[in-house]
Structure 1
Amino acid sequence: MNPIYKITGKISSSLANTSRKARIVGAGALGLALCAFGAVATAPIAQDDASVPVKSVAEDLALPNLSDQIAALQQDEQQFIHEERVRAGDSLGTMLGRLGVEDAEAQKFIRSNKVARRILTLKNGKRLQAETDENGLLLSLRASLVDKNKAPTTLTIFRDGDSFTAVEAPAKLERRVEMRSREITSSSLYSATDANVDGGSIPDSVVGEIVQMFSTNIDFRGDLKRGDRFNVVYETFWLDGELVKTGRILAGEFINRGVSHQAVWFEDPVTKQGSYYSLDGKSLKKAFLKSPLEFSRVSSGFSNRVHPISGQWKAHKGIDYAASTGTPIRAAGDGTVESIGVSGGYGNMVVIKHWSNYSTAYAHMSRFGSGLRKGTKVSQGQVIGYVGSTGWSTGAHLHYEFRVGNVARDPNTLKNLMAAPLNAGEMARFKMAAADMNHRFSLLTPGGNAMAAR
């Protein structure tokens, strides 16, 4: 017959300085003892019976010294983080006081250090975060600085032993994707985007981009009618809960007189070039600008004429744009600089190779664009030089040639050329981006859980 063990426990404690002996007999009491002292397994226990032999086991069990643990915790340095916003009438002292900072040396440093002193320029509502020890000594102070004329920065002041250091570094902005939907209730597009409309205002810069995106298909001065609507998905960038800037429109949809016009921004991750496309992958951008100059007049077209210097009747294989010296000249389309330099009677000239067999030439420049050389990639609209009168020229103007297979053509006969189509790899990547934006459009349509999402 198995014996029943009688467990006698002697518990010693430095707090009570007492000892006890406990005699625990029986199945129920033994179970409690096993739980209390960390038993990980149990076995069947026979019922108490006078005929069963009994053995006693005694063991000293020490409780943890709580007083030592409490003392150790009290010796650890305690750190506290406080956050406040600047209020009207705040001085440096009152601001630091609300942050729990009681540190004269920190105040002295902030007032004397050129970088740290920028804290004093914070406007009402701006957020400050301070870390202090239990005595109010400053360990670190952080603030975000947003200047309309500069990139946002983060200013950090931190204790370095018995002194302080101030560092200002570029801020890491939080990118959000905003979704908005509006219905035209008057003849004005902008009236549908103000702050009084449900869902908040839409930035004017976004509205301007919408107009630019769809202006080739919609006359925004005369084609709009009540009931037209548009959906737009665009980027915003935030710092510490504050809107810093509005980014690019990622997708737009405009339903005008029952006809839907859609555009999706696609930047190929391989080529790093981007543009707007319809949902089927067709570029919405014209391949070439109507004119390489923003403001000018045509002084000589693509035709036969009497040459102003030789006096002979000959073909004029380009278009001359009269403009003052120094007027910026823009690349008519995306491409690569094929040649740059002095070219006989053309004077200072740049030739750009575009997709397929198209190229454009810009002559008589006074000077070239900064950083431009053979092989440089240029984007449509990029400044590549400035109007001048070099070479065979009687006055400041731009001689512009549009060439197909190196043969000059009248650009007015080819003005509807579309930009280069996407190749197979680009098209596959575009379809993934377009599918996501098309899903967002469906959420913004009436009854489609229209909402502003971030």
Structure 2
Amino acid sequence: MNPTQKTPSTRLSGLPVLSRKARIIGAGAIFLAVCAFGAAAIAPLPDASDLPVKSIAQDLALPNLSDQITALQQEPQQFIHEEKVRPGDSLASLLNRLGVDDQEAAAFIKSDRVAKGVMQLKTGKRVQAQTDDDGQLQWLHATVVDNQDMPVKTISISRNNNHRLVAQESAPKLERRVEMRARTITNSLYSATDASTDGGRMPDTIVAQIIEMFSTSIDFRSDLRRGDHFNVVYETFWQDGEMVKAGRILAGEFVNRGTTYQSVWFEDPSSKAGGGYYTFDGKALKRGFLKSPLEFSRISSGFSMRVHPISGNWKAHKGIDFAASLGTPIRASGDGVVDFQGVSGGYGNMVVIKHWANYSTAYAHMSRFSSNLRKGAKVSQGDIIGYVGSTGWSTGAHLHYEFRVNNEARDPNTLNVIAQAPLSSSELSRFKTAAADMTHRFALLRPGSAGQAMAAR
């Protein structure tokens, strides 16, 4: 055979080499097989009603309720009771209402130094106790409060591993809540805060803080107008579902005669300095001196020439007289040190406070001084230093207030004393984060906002 002649097929390494025609026929067969498989795969499923149904019946044993009740009765039962102390309650009557029938527990409470506090609970305070089905005391919890109804300590009585009663004191565990309120002035500030449209009466301590917060910008004696409104965010502390005290105002917004005043509390955790209130752009709200040393009063005599009410002489009145009821608290208008306390001629009972630089303030005609006030004592803005009276040359109860620069009386309404030191750049950055949260809350409180109805939450 001619070695160069081509043959239909040859073998390489023992494997057959198929011709082009054979390869095409083989590929066609594979394609038809795949199509047939795909057609079978998408064929419609049989209707479920045509499928055979197999039922399996099995008897289930019902539980024996009688056996369960018997088992429960054999287990030791525990009962938890809660009661409030009633007027005239004795230890025996209180324990009786708590379901405690345990002479050992009664004797322990009367004799143990810590447990005795249960017998000193104020009327209306809650007591919780757990007993077994024989009335034996398992544990008891009660909170002792002070004269201002503030929680002082929690008394816990329980049984140790030897089943002996033990008592211990601990700091009361309080739940902190943040509350939001919006009010409109229709008559007075206090009538507005007594309104119950969004969750009830606002605490008096919060009202006092509102006055202090804005007293450098708003004179609450004469500046308020019908239609003025304010929003406030503050903290409260609760125990066992009962509010026990109000905390600090976290932010406040007051619209007075169309002008909006805002403040937010900021305390930098990285700084040793205490916190303070600032405007929302980071400027200190606290100014050097209060606009008025009295919360509520009226100016009966300004800084001007006048006829003296006693001597009848025409002379300069070097201060401002605030008419107020006898005994009205007088506040230090600025931080400083007591430079004088005592009787000073026609001024009667008088206090002089020396502030920074060359500023000083004088308060005259007091009925009495604050009990802890002494010459050289440090006072902070807003501290009570005495009470309105009519001592010295006075024709009625009022406060004579003087503002002095280099010991010379000046009209405080004409002075513009700078605020406290501004925030540093790093403090300002952290302040903006706190202010942004309060800005959002105020937006929810404003009239017409979607969140106003949820203000009390």
TM > 0.5: yes
Q: Does 1:173 align with 2:174?
A: yes
The answer as to whether partners of 2:225 and 2:256 remain within 8 angstroms in 1 is no
SS in structure 2 at match of 1:424: coil
- Which aligned pairs between 1:306-345 and structure 2 lie closer than 5 A? 315-319=316-320, 327=327, 330-341=330-341, 345=345
Aligned to 1:45: none
Q: Report the equivalent of 1:64.
A: none
Q: Pairwise mapping of residues 393-404 of structure 1 onto structure 2 (< 5 A)?
A: 393=393, 399-404=400-405
**Once the 2 structures are TM-superposed, how far is the Cα of residue 440 of structure 1 from its aligned partner?**
3.6
TM-score, scaled relative to structure 1: 0.57
Number of matched pairs: 358
Q: Distance in 2 between matches of 1:300 and 1:344?
A: 21
Equivalent residue, structure 1, for 2:227 = 223
User: RMSD of the TM alignment (CA)?
Assistant: 5.4
| Pair 1:350–1:431, CA change in 2 (3 A) | farther
Instruction: Report the CA distance between 1:237 and its aligned residue.
Output: 0.7
Aligned to 1:155: 155
Task: Report Cα offsets for 1:346-395 as digits up to 9, x if no partner.
Answer: 665432233564321234656543222344332344332354646xx477
| SS of alignment partner, residue 116 of structure 1 | helix
Identify if the C-alpha distance between structure 1 residues 411 and 303 changes in structure 2 by more than 3 Å, giving closer, same or farther.
Answer: farther
1:303 maps to 305
**2:385 corresponds to which letter in structure 1?**
I
**Which amino acid in 2 is paired with 1:359?**
S
Q: Distance in 1 between matches of 2:343 and 2:253?
A: 47
| SS of match in other structure, 1:115 | helix
- Verify: 1:115 aligned to 2:114, yes or no: no
| Alpha-carbon distance between aligned partners in 2 of 1:206 and 1:275, rounded to the nearest angstrom | 17
User: 1:293-323 deviations in whole A, cap 9, x for unaligned?
Assistant: 95577468543767967x9876553345678
User: Residues 319 and 255 (structure 1 numbering): CA distance in 2 closer, same or farther, change over 3 Å?
Assistant: closer
Secondary structure of 2:353's aligned partner: strand
User: What residue number does 2:25 align with?
Assistant: none
- Once the two structures are TM-superposed, the CA of residue 243 in structure 1 deviates from its matched residue by 1.9
Unaligned runs of 5+ in 1: 1-77
Q: Distance in 2 between matches of 1:261 and 1:292?
A: 21
Change (3 A) 1:341 1:260: closer
Q: CA deviation at 1:339?
A: 0.9
Q: How does 1:24-173 map to 2 (within 5 A)?
A: 83-86=80-83, 95-97=97-99, 103-110=102-109, 115-117=117-119, 126=126, 128-130=128-130, 138-144=137-143, 149-152=148-151, 153-158=153-158, 171-173=172-174
The percentage of aligned residue pairs carrying the same residue is: 46
Partner residue of 2:263? 263
Q: From the superposition, tell whether residues 357 and 82 of structure 1 become closer, same or farther in structure 2 (CA, over 3 Å).
A: farther
Task: For 1:293 and 1:120, locate their aligned partners in 2 and report how far apart those are by CA, in whole Å.
Answer: 32
Secondary structure in structure 2 of the residue aligned to 1:86: strand
Query: Residue 272 of structure 1 aligns with which residue?
Result: 274
The residue that corresponds to 1:241 in the other structure is 241
CA distance in 2, matches of 1:195, 1:366: 38
Structure number having the greater strand percentage: 1
Residues 351, 361 of structure 1: 8 Å contact kept: yes
Stretches of structure 2 lacking an aligned partner (at least 5 in a row): 1-74, 87-91
Q: Whole-Å Cα distance in 1 between the matches of residues 195 and 300 of structure 2?
A: 41
Residue 385 of structure 1 aligns to a residue whose secondary structure is strand
Question: What's 2:436 paired with?
Answer: 435
Give the 3 Å change call, closer, same or farther, for CA 321–424 of structure 1 in structure 2.
Answer: closer
SS of the equivalent of 1:437 reads helix
- C-alpha distance in structure 2 between counterparts of 1:373 and 1:187, whole Å: 40
Q: Say which SS state the counterpart of residue 421 (structure 2) adopts.
A: coil
Tell me if the contact between 2:302 and 2:321 (Cα under 8 Å) persists in the aligned partners: yes
Q: Which residue of 2 aligns with 1:74?
A: none
